Amino acid sequence: MGAEAPSRRWWALAAVSLSVLAVGLDGTVLTVALPTLAGKLHASESDLQWFTSAYLLVLAAAMLPAGMLGDRYGRKKVLVVSLVLFALGSALCATATSSAEFLAARALLGFAGAGVIVMAVTALTVLFDERERPRAVGIWAAMNFLALPIGPILGGWLLTHYWWGWIFLMNVPVVLIALIAVTTLVPESRASQRPAFDLPGVGLSVAGLTLLTYGFIRAGQDGWGTLLALLSIGVGVALLLAFLAWEQRLTRRADGEPLVDLALFRSASFTWGVILAAIGVLAMLGVMFTMPQYFQGVAGTSAMGSGLRLLPLIGGLIVGALPADQLVRRIGAKLGASLGFALIGTGLGLGTATGVHSSGAFLACWMALVGAGMGLALATASSAALAELSPERSGVGSAVLQAVNKTGGPLGAAILGSVLSSIYLARLSVAGLPAGAGASARASIFGAVALAHKLGDPALLQSARGAFVHGMDGALIVSCGFAALGLLLALAWLPARAHTQITEQVEVAITS
């Protein structure tokens, strides 16, 4: 790490960030493409749900194995291979002729995406010391969320003017540029002693994360009382507990080489950094989950217009993330993360006042405030966790951070979706509608709006939009609760300063 010139490190970060952007674009553009895919691939509602779910399942399950492979064989090699597979998966999505082919391509994208995401975080540990890392994490976080508005904007434009396959093929040139940049600028690194291939650990972690994520997805789709959802969550938790017990057993053995070094969790900085980063994502989901629906279902904008209206959120995130290193250097990680969560909670609290006819300026202001808090909180919490990772095992350590975050996404969507749906259904009035028509109105805000326009029923339109806004406000209140929890935990448990384990004596094979 010390051999890398300062300017080269930041250019290498730009290359890694471009890789992250390619993965992010794929996830956000899919939401715009689902109606088109339903017709082109003759996909059922269940197929459409699995186009997203299959990606999330494989992504979460592949995190820890990807980290282990990077530590064992070289992180740059894993990143390059993952980018090639991601380009291939994107091309297969564009050329799919059936739902089954498209689903297989989405699974491949999830597998490749895990390698890209984990190796990107690992690069932050290898390239930057604890003083520079908050700014590097801020840039990484900004690129993570930049895809949120860019995906719908580009995807909507391409779907309007060109063949639908281009919304997936547009990833290919981004990946090719990232490949050239990564190959040229990012140094190779690996553990000085190859970690053993912990097959039982890999199997238990993959099975546990898959079932846990699947359970959260089913809970979001079918409700928390669904037997299959509860059973999947229960078995997933049991398998992950078995994984931790197995890793603890290997740790105690003189010749044991566990997949995850559980000694990391003795560090308050790592443990609470991982937890707080996940809580920050849960709080942020209140905006990411509800506002695209609000803009399209209530305000009546297109997917492209929705993406444009999310730009203040990204602008705020950049404003909060980029100076995070200077701020943390002056006030410490504890106060830096606490300030970030306070800003998130304040913005979400203002957001609960959103109504059907709220002005664009009001929406932009509170979303920008949430973004600024998220940029500061995520950069600080992630940096606190990464500061405890030696380059020796940074791959698996980074994978733990990302696995928790990616599993939390479906959990947050299930919780917020349940809150929004229950309030929406309680407030929606479908009295007087033709037999069977009420079901489509109750299914979603989009179904209700389409039905209202079809029937020429302004009362239904007003009721649906009002009901959704009440449900959205409820979801934002829950998100505000997540932010408050993050604030309290940061003040109580996050160390004021991270004490890094990275020293000059750590022997790591890094080649230019």
Q: What is the pLDDT of residues 27-66, one digit of tens each?
A: 778 877 877 887 888 887 678 778 888 888 898 889 999 9
Angle at CA 243, nearest 5°, toward 107 and 251?
125
Same domain, 30 and 141: yes
Does residue 431 have a pLDDT over 60?
yes
Same domain, 277 and 362: yes
Q: What is the pLDDT of residue 88?
A: 96
Task: Give the pair of three-digit tokens for residue 231.
Answer: 């059973």
Domain boundary among 258, 282, 310: 258
CB 282 within 8 A of CB 408: yes
Same domain, 172 and 250: no
Q: What is the pLDDT of residue 473?
A: 94
CA nearest neighbour of 511 among 179, 194, 114, 192: 192
507 falls within a domain: no
510 falls within a domain: no
Strand partners, 511: 188
Same domain, 323 and 380: yes
Same domain, 146 and 221: no
506 falls within a domain: no
Does residue 285 have a pLDDT over 80?
yes
- The per-residue b/e assignment along 348-365, b for 16 or more CB within 10 angstroms, e otherwise, is bbbbbebeeebeeeebbb
Same domain, 295 and 176: no
Q: How many domains does the chain have?
A: 3
Question: Highest-confidence range of 241-255, 263-277, 290-304, 335-349, by mean pLDDT?
Answer: 335-349
10 falls within a domain: yes
Distance CA 391, CA 267 (A): 16
Same domain, 245 and 369: no
Same domain, 335 and 443: yes
DSSP string across 41-94: TT--HHHHHHHHHHHHHHHHHHHHHHHHHHHHH-HHHHHHHHHHHHHHHHHHHH
508 falls within a domain: no
Same domain, 411 and 470: yes
91 falls within a domain: yes
512 falls within a domain: no
The parent domain of residue 304 ranges over: 264-501
pLDDT mean over 472-479: 95
223 falls within a domain: yes
Does residue 512 have a pLDDT over 50?
no
Provide the strand spans (E) within 363-419: none
pLDDT mean over 490-510: 57
Q: What is the pLDDT of residues 117-172, one digit of tens each?
A: 999 888 888 788 777 877 788 788 777 777 777 887 888 788 878 898 998 998 88
Distance CA 245, CA 447 (A): 47
Task: Give the pair of three-digit tokens for residue 361.
Answer: 């300026």
Distance CA 101, CA 90 (A): 12
Does residue 192 have a pLDDT over 80?
no
Same domain, 219 and 355: no
Same domain, 349 and 430: yes
Domain boundary among 140, 156, 190: 190
Same domain, 240 and 178: no
Domain boundary among 163, 190, 217: 190
Strand partners, 92: none
Does residue 229 have a pLDDT over 50?
yes
CATH number, position 343: 1.20.1250.20
Amino acid at 199: L
